[in-house]
């Protein structure tokens, strides 16, 4: 049985995640072929349920790929190799799992290629995700 403290664990306390600063530092280490895949949760999903979404993103991330979870439940996944194409594969894999749970329409994904400024890539990927249709993925131009 989970304790009351564990049941109310904030999203920012999920294991295996990295801080925003660690995410950006890891992105700076990628020489070529990097991308960010940002998952944004629909506003209709209660805050208490959002850690499950974040945990799912972490579970389906490839080994050694940092995941940063934000206070609103959105999750950024750093793709170190394969760029936008690999990010699209990861997004499909996560949406396939969400579909099995009947939740694919409650999340959006945005993908941005890694450029000279990784912090800007996070914002670009978020904007793409926010502009995507429910259950869909948008790639930033």
pLDDT per residue over 28-71, tens digit each?
Answer: 999 899 999 999 999 889 988 887 888 888 787 767 789 999 98
Tell me whether residue 6 is in a domain: no
Residue 11: pLDDT over 70 = no
Tell me whether residue 86 is in a domain: yes
Give CA–CA dist 38/128, Å, rounded.
8
Which residue range forms the structural domain that includes residue 99?
16-139
Q: Give the total residue count for the chain.
A: 141
Q: Report the chain's mean pLDDT, rounded to a whole number.
A: 86
Residue 9: pLDDT over 50 = no
Give CA–CA dist 86/114, Å, rounded.
12
Residue 5: pLDDT over 80 = no
Q: Give the tokens for residue 38.
A: 């940002």
Residue 114: pLDDT over 90 = yes
Tell me whether residue 8 is in a domain: no
Tell me whether residue 11 is in a domain: no
Domain count, the chain: 1
* 3-state DSSP assignment of residue 9: coil
Q: What is the pLDDT of residue 89?
A: 94
Tell me whether residue 54 is in a domain: yes
Tell me whether residue 4 is in a domain: no
Tell me whether residue 113 is in a domain: yes
Bridge partners (DSSP) of residue 117 are none
CATH number at residue 23: 3.30.70.270
- pLDDT band at residue 1 under the 50/70/90 scheme: very low
| Element containing residue 96 per DSSP (H, E) | helix 83-100
Tell me whether residue 42 is in a domain: yes
What values do phi and psi take at 133, rounded to 5? -75, 160
More confident residue, 138 or 46: 138
């Amino acid at each position: 049985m989970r304790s009351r403290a564990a049941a109310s664990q904030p999203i920012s306390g999920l294991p295996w995640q990295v801080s925003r600063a660690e995410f950006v530092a890891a992105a700076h280490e990628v020489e070529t072929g990097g991308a960010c895949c940002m998952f944004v949760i629909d506003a209709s999903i209660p805050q208490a349920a959002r850690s499950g979404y974040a945990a799912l993103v972490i579970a389906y991330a490839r080994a050694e790929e940092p995941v940063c979870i934000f206070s609103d439940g959105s999750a950024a996944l750093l793709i170190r190799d394969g760029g936008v194409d690999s990010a699209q594969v990861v997004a499909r894999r996560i949406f396939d799992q969400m579909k099995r749970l009947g939740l694919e329409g409650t999340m959006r994904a945005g993908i941005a290629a890694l450029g000279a400024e990784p912090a800007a890539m996070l914002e670009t990927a978020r904007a793409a995700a926010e502009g995507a249709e429910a259950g869909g993925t948008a790639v930033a131009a």
